[in-house]
Each structure stands twice: as structure tokens, then as C-alpha cells.
């Protein structure tokens, strides 16, 4: 949740992924507050605006009221999302997968997916005792070789010394 939008208490959301349609189609959003609790919120009007989603959320009729939602995570039920197409995955499905290099070296497990603009990066944490720092690996061709969700494995053209 980016924060308030406009003078009527609407909110602006920067959705993860390429399309905001999963949020636009839903009339209930689950918002995670600062304490980590998820709560359902009814959504009134909603539309796509310049690559973001803007919406009215029940109970937040002024910009000041909507400001308390800044920074909240927004979710919809998984069952409400369309199935990924061929060669597509939901980035959230990558968390927990083992990452190995093309040469067979284990790099660790995906602990998060970051997106700083150009393309997603998978945050890979080495196994206990095999390094202290997480590494960020670009989740983009030609670095990404394969994703096997059923086998819980990602293969990348990325070596341990990078």
C-alpha cells in the first residue's frame, strides 16, 4: 500500500507482478497491519491508474484516515488469482525453493523475491555454515535456466563466488 490517493480517501497500491487484475477483480482485500494481523476490508470503486491500483476502502473516507494504511501489505485469496500461463509462476511460489548453479553447486534457498524495477531478484540464503550473507540473483533470462516447482528447485547460471 503506497498511501492515500486523491481527496476522497482512496488508496494507491503498487501491486507485485506484471498485471494488477488480481486486485481489481476483488471486492475484499486482506490488509496486514503493522502488528502482522491480516484483516478483510471491503473495497468499493477500484481501477488501474498508471500501473498502480487506486481504490476506495470501506471505513477510510478521508486522506487522513487512509494514511494509516500506508505500508500495509495487500492480499487476495490464492483461489481468486488466475492460473499462471506456460513458463509463468507466481513469484511467491519461489520462496523455499532450493537454488543450484548449472554446475551443480547449491547456492541456498529462496527466502524472498525483491523487485527494484528492472526485473525481480531472488534473495538466496546459504545453508547454515556456508556463508553469512544473502545473495541477490537476477530472476531473468539468460541467468535463469529452469524452475521446477514440483521438484522445489531453481537452476541458475550463477556460481558461488559471484
Report if pTM > 0.75: no
The verdict on residue 86 lying in a domain is: no
- Burial label for 45, CB within 10 Å (0-12, 13-18, 19+), is exposed
Residues 132 and 105 in one domain: yes
Structural domain of 105: 91-156
The verdict on residue 161 lying in a domain is: no
Q: Are 113 and 120 in contact (CB under 8 A)?
A: yes
DSSP annotation string for 133-154:
S-EEEE-STTTEEEEETTTTEE
Q: What is the CATH number of the domain that holds 57?
A: 2.40.30.60
Per-residue pLDDT of the chain (162 residues; tens, 9 = 90+): 999 999 999 999 998 766 687 788 899 999 987 788 999 999 999 999 988 999 999 999 999 999 999 999 998 888 877 788 888 898 889 999 999 999 999 999 999 998 877 889 999 999 776 667 899 999 999 999 999 999 999 999 998 888
Radius of gyration of the chain (CA): 18
Amino acid at each position: 500500500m503506497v498511501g492515500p490517493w486523491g481527496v476522497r480517501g482512496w488508496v494507491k497500491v503498487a501491486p507485485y507482478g506484471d498485471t494488477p487484475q488480481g486486485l481489481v477483480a476483488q471486492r475484499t482485500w486482506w490488509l496486514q497491519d503493522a502488528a502482522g494481523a491480516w484483516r478483510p476490508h471491503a473495497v468499493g470503486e477500484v481501477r488501474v491508474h498508471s500501473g498502480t491500483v487506486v481504490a476506495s476502502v470501506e471505513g477510510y473516507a478521508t486522506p487522513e484516515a487512509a494514511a494509516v494504511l500506508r505500508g500495509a501489505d495487500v492480499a487476495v485469496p490464492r483461489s481468486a488469482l488466475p492460473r499462471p500461463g506456460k513458463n509463468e509462476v507466481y513469484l511467491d511460489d519461489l520462496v523455499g525453493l532450493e537454488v543450484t548453479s548449472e554446475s551443480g553447486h547449491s547456492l541456498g534457498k529462496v527466502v524472498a523475491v525483491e523487485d527494484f524495477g528492472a526485473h525481480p531478484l531472488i534473495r538466496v540464503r546459504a545453508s547454515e555454515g556456508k556463508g553469512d550473507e544473502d545473495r541477490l540473483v537476477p530472476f531473468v533470462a539468460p541467468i535463469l535456466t529452469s524452475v521446477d516447482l514440483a521438484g522445489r528447485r531453481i537452476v541458475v547460471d550463477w556460481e558461488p563466488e559471484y
